[in-house]
Structure 1
């Protein structure tokens, strides 16, 4: 079990956004975090990566909590945010070097991975570029390269397809499959339900800060037999029922 979220209550103020959220991600599994805007997806992610502290409940990565061992917990996560976060004063090469230092990566092995990924995302001739030189999609690719040079057991990817061209989307999905085969786990928040349906092993459907249902697509169909066959059908049916 890579990630275990147990009865987490939390948010940004004294009024909780998350209401006893519970789910897990097994080794080598891609789980889609699905929900409307305001459902609690970003809040859930911010609690997992340690930007927010739960009011109640517990979050473990391979048995380690943030309170138990801050550094060991953080080094198990590779995070790709929805909006790229880059340092304006650092070049692409310096971003990669900083990532290698943060994760204690062996430089030769890390650079071997980096050069492969840079070529894949057509950034191999831009090592001396600063963030101001990059488009939004290119900044997103920088974040992807920095994340995937690590050997983190847990990848958290928030709305990864925004701003990416179709080739980059395909390459990212291939990288996720590679990491799954290595045994790493992936939590992916996305509104692109047809892609999630095709690639995710299981789904966690959030509504109003609560897990309304979770499971594989066949399990969701069995739990909601009148909702429809596709993930989009199931989610829309569940959302409409919750709003009534």
Structure 2
């Protein structure tokens, strides 16, 4: 497994845990959807994996990963290509093949014309594409992706879905937090349903249908039944 998580409690202060009893794993070649409404605990779960939550009681084992945040983050004063060049300096890889892959991805996401511009000046969608390119270039064991479809145009979403398929075929694991339940239902291998800071259900869509009693229910239908009456946390 590329990620194994067993959180007893986690939060931002010792007196107010946000998460309780969260256990799941992500293995090679699978896409796992982290599903929940705003304030359900998805972000705290991801931050716990990243090691930025102050109080975590439990055990988290994670391999090398690339993190794609909902709000892109860049280094001030570095152009797009300088971000790529900096990433290269942190990796043990062949420079020529890395550069060729970078150019192919820039062409794919239609960013070749702005390689010498500063990403902080880009639109939200363009910034999201840059984060995706950097993550794909790293070739990690695990991708942790937070709301990847926000700000992307339909063509970019199609390209992203193809890249996700390619990464799965390469053997990478993917943990993806998203509100786009229609898309998640089509592409995810398994789902983690979080509400009120707890993992209320996990498994394939078939598993969720059996647990909710909705034999032909959509992911949204199953989520509504399984989390009915559950207030949110932050």
Structure 2 CA distance for aligned equivalents of residues 50 and 103 of structure 1: 22
Question: Residue 34 in 1 paired to residue 35 in 2?
Answer: yes
Report the count of equivalent residues: 230
Structure 1 CA distance for aligned equivalents of residues 85 and 193 of structure 2: 37
Offset of 1:12 from its aligned partner?
1.4
Offset of 1:61 from its aligned partner?
2.0
What TM-score, normalized to structure 2?
A: 0.93
Offset of 1:53 from its aligned partner?
5.0
Deviations 1:36-88 (A, max 9, x none): 111110111111122225521111125xxxxxxxxxxxxx1111100010123
Structure 2 CA distance for aligned equivalents of residues 165 and 123 of structure 1: 14
Structure 2 CA distance for aligned equivalents of residues 192 and 178 of structure 1: 21
CA contact (8 A) 1:227 1:238 kept: no
Question: Residue 82 in 1 paired to residue 70 in 2?
Answer: yes
**Structure 2 match to 1:50:** 51
Deviations 1:217-244 (A, max 9, x none): 011111111486100101112222435x
CA contact (8 A) 1:110 1:150 kept: no
CA contact (8 A) 2:13 2:54 kept: no
**Structure 2 match to 1:94:** 82
Offset of 1:208 from its aligned partner?
0.9
Partner of 2:126, secondary structure, is helix
Partner of 2:228, secondary structure, is helix
Partner of 2:230, secondary structure, is helix
Q: How does 1:136-215 map to 2 (within 5 A)?
A: 136-215=124-203
Question: Residue 113 in 1 paired to residue 114 in 2?
Answer: no
**Structure 2 match to 1:20:** 21
Which portions of structure 1, spanning 4 or more consecutive aligned residues, are displaced by more than 4 angstroms? none
Please, which moves more after superposition, 197-206 or 103-112? 103-112
Stretches of structure 2 that go unaligned for 5 or more consecutive residues are: none
Offset of 1:20 from its aligned partner?
2.0
**Structure 2 match to 1:72:** none
**Structure 2 match to 1:123:** 111
**Structure 2 match to 1:4:** 4
What TM-score, normalized to structure 1?
A: 0.90
Structure 2 CA distance for aligned equivalents of residues 165 and 228 of structure 1: 30
**Structure 1 match to 2:217:** 229
Offset of 1:99 from its aligned partner?
1.6
